[in-house]
Amino acid sequence: MNLALSLLPITLGVARLPSGSALPDWLDWSDPLVSVTRTDDEISIICPEDRIPDDVTCEKGWRVFKVAGPLEISLTGILFSLLTPLAEAGVPILALSTYDTDYVLVRDGKVADAASALRRVARVADTGIE
């Protein structure tokens, strides 16, 4: 598989709201990456970290590697090929998939380690990686 990755120039937060909550007014659909997932247990929101108020349960400081797409939805093993070297390198992740592509979120302090691990299986653009 010939994957190409880029590091997006944003820092995200992952917020948790109680199940049944309304979408908050601080959520802005015009941001470059926003994801909302609702389950019976919670609502998780991924968005630019500066949007999330201090009184909301969240983890900030996530950076995003984007797989160049669009990818065929029938492809298999994309995330596995990316997550295996990250796990071997001890880099915690959050994965996010859309219809067209995949995103791998890593802690800001682990970007260089993640890029190094990912270079074993993909082309990683150097922009923004320290």
Map out the domains of the chain as residue ranges. Answer: 3-124
8 pLDDT exceeds 90?
yes
Output the pTM of the full model. 0.87
Specify the range with the lowest mean pLDDT, choosing from 1-10, 26-35, 46-55: 1-10
Question: Is domain 3-124 given the CATH code 3.30.2130.10 in the classification?
Answer: yes
Please state, in angstroms and as integers, the Cα–Cα distance from residue 47 to each residue in 39, 71, 72, following that order: 18, 23, 25
DSSP 39: -
Nearest Cα neighbor of 106 from 46, 64, 45 is 64
The string of pLDDT tens digits covering residues 87-126 is 999 999 999 988 888 899 999 999 999 999 999 887 787 6
